[in-house]
Amino acid sequence: MGSWGDQGDGTYKNPVLNADYPDVDIEQVGDTYYMITSTNHYAPGMTLLKSKDIVNWRMIGHVFEKLTWEPTYNFDRMSGYRLGVWAGDLAYHDGTWYCYFIDTRSGLYMSSAEEITGPWSRPICMLKKQRWTDPAAFWDEDAKQAYLVCNFGPDPVQKKNQTRLFKMSWDGKKLVDEGTALYHGSGAEAAKIYKINGFYYIFLAEWIEGDRKQLVLRSKSMYGPFERKIVMEKAAGARRSVCQGALVQAADGSWWYTHQLVQHRAKTKGTFAGRTTGSSYEGRSQWLVPVRWRDGWPVLGEDPDGNGIGNTVSGWTRPIQGHPIDAPQTDDEFDAEKLGPQWQWNHNPRDDRWSLTERRGWLCLRADVPVNDGGFWNASNTISQRLMGKGKGVVTAKVDISGMEPGQQAGFCHHSGQFILLGIRVDADGNKRMIFNNNGKVKAGPIVREDVIYYRTQNDGNQAFYEYSSDGETFKRFGEPFRLEFGRWRGDRLGFYCWNDSGPAGHIDIDYFHYDYDGPKRR
């Protein structure tokens, strides 16, 4: 069954989502669990998934097709890197779905829908730009009062993040007071509110002694005073911190907590927000741990050293039995009339430069001129999906290059904070030449005379390389091996690029994308 996820024998191995699914929130309705995960500058934004057992997850869409609230994210700007959709909250109340999220450049936003699959309303701004992140809504049915809690940025006096609680209108669309600071902590954020057995519990993450720990505040009153307890920390010898997720309950009454692995911080000055080292290249994966209650406090995972603070677990018995193995979508034959939910564009796409209908069964990408100074980061309509897992992986794609024109570059890409490309560049004389582009350092290869080319990329852990073929059977390696990396708050991604430095001319047609990896997959 692979090194992670459902093992097919009633157990699972962590992580249950071994890919870039950060900042999740989960809402249970009936016997189904729904998840959101942040997507930054990619469109469609805020990925939606569902599960029957909290282990096997399947994508069902996104909250919004495009990032419409700022021109920064348009294809003619391409300037929203490290911005966009950050950690949010998914809620269901009185027959309406809500998604709250922060754009750190412009403010707090909310979308709503009658059905989880949409259509979702256009995001509305509830509060203009502040230095805050990670909102979460809570409806107190006993008091008939709605609230929104968030990290409101550093307090000017204490110089620590303040966890601030706002009263909210019952329809979930307006904040009705200035908010009250409930807690101050170093980097404190990702707050979630739960009411269990008469106690209000606020889960939040905080940096303490170099570790991103999971905390819980507890009180009989929504406004405190609160007791504070560390409930989860990094195990001895572990490299990455564990925190920030969602508390859920199974039908048998058992409690569970999803959490992410925090990105491993680089030690080089100035690289934390941009690139990281070592173990984070797949992004912030999602882990699932059992929760036990002791003296009214949750114990997350296991407590092997007996200090009363939980550690994550490598695996466990599935919370809910009897459901088949499933996984987020990856493979695509491009036969549908709509793109699969695994695909996202780098910024909002230019819709007149791509098509699934011009040539049935193929994805057509038409080249456009990059904005600003050109190059990969400024080229619109780059399309990609998440790297899956940390074991071995192989992707093969079939691409028709007969429609390429002089000045055009197109092919396959790995990217996050870096970009590594294998593709075709068309010279002024019309020759199509293989190129390998490692972060702007280009290696030119042989002239390609065939109309169809097959790209293949293989990775073993964070070590990867490219190959190509004219028949899909015999592959040749080209370019140097490279290392996968985390960057711009995202894990490595796999996909296709297409641009033309000379003008909006030329296109490629993609027949299929096949992905085999070490992990669960729907068969």
* Sign of the dihedral through C-alpha 32, 38, 39, 43: positive
Active site residue: 6, 20, 23, 467, which one? 23
Look at residue 248 and tell me if it is in a domain.
yes
φ and ψ of 504, to 5 deg: -75, 75
pLDDT at residue 277 in the model: 45
397 and 497 together in one domain = yes
Look at residue 275 and tell me if it is in a domain.
yes
- Contact between 472 and 514 under an 8 Å Cβ cutoff? The reply is no
Domain harbouring 17, CATH code:
2.115.10.20
307 and 384 together in one domain = no
Helix segments in 51-149, DSSP class H: none
pLDDT at residue 159 in the model: 84
Q: What share of the chain is helix, strand, coil (3-state, %, to 5)?
A: 0, 50, 50
pLDDT at residue 268 in the model: 37
Which residue bears the tokens 């092997």? 304
Look at residue 325 and tell me if it is in a domain.
no
- Contact between 115 and 121 under an 8 Å Cβ cutoff? The reply is no
Distance, first Cα to last Cα, the chain:
12
Give the integer Cα–Cα distance in Å for 455 and 472.
8
pLDDT at residue 155 in the model: 81
Give the Cα-Cα-Cα angle 359, 379, 470 (nearest 5 degrees): 50
Give the Cα-Cα-Cα angle 57, 32, 49 (nearest 5 degrees): 35
Domain boundary among 317, 336, 369: 317
CA dihedral 416, 418, 422, 427 (to 10 degrees): 120
313 and 351 together in one domain = no
For residues 120-151, b (16+ Cβ closer than 10 Å) or e, as one string? Answer: bbebeebbeebebbbbbbbbeeeeeebbbbbb
405 and 302 together in one domain = no
Look at residue 323 and tell me if it is in a domain.
no
Query: Which residue from 412, 407, 442 is spatially nearest to 510, judged by alpha carbons?
Result: 412
Look at residue 30 and tell me if it is in a domain.
yes
307 and 402 together in one domain = no
Q: How far is CA 9 from CA 209, 325, 362, 493, 520, in A?
A: 39, 10, 38, 31, 13
Q: How many domains does the chain have?
A: 2
313 and 349 together in one domain = no
Query: Which residue from 262, 321, 316 is spatially nearest to 291, judged by alpha carbons?
Result: 316
388 and 432 together in one domain = yes
What residue type is 231 in one-letter code? V
Which residue bears the tokens 């057509």? 364
Residue-number span of the structural domain to which 509 is assigned: 344-517
Q: How far is CA 314 from CA 4, 98, 290, in A?
A: 9, 33, 11
Look at residue 146 and tell me if it is in a domain.
yes
378 and 287 together in one domain = no
Give the integer Cα–Cα distance in Å for 361 and 347.
25
Domain harbouring 429, CATH code:
2.60.120.200
For the chain (523 residues), the mean pLDDT of every run of 10, in chain order, is 93 98 97 97 98 98 96 96 94 98 93 98 90 90 96 84 96 96 94 97 95 97 97 92 96 96 59 50 97 96 92 97 97 97 98 97 98 94 97 98 98 96 97 98 97 98 97 97 94 98 97 97 83
Q: Give the predicted TM-score (pTM) of the model.
A: 0.96
311 and 348 together in one domain = no
In the annotation, is 23 catalytic?
yes
Look at residue 332 and tell me if it is in a domain.
no
Give the integer Cα–Cα distance in Å for 286 and 54.
11
160 and 205 together in one domain = yes
- Contact between 352 and 490 under an 8 Å Cβ cutoff? The reply is no
Look at residue 326 and tell me if it is in a domain.
no
In the annotation, is 400 catalytic?
no
300 and 355 together in one domain = no
Active site residue: 6, 189, 206, 282, which one? 189
Give the integer Cα–Cα distance in Å for 64 and 87.
15
Give the integer Cα–Cα distance in Å for 452 and 402.
7
Q: Prior bond to 15 cis, omega within 30? A: yes
379 and 313 together in one domain = no
Q: How far is CA 262 from CA 206, 242, 408, 429, in A?
A: 12, 6, 39, 49
- Contact between 184 and 158 under an 8 Å Cβ cutoff? The reply is yes
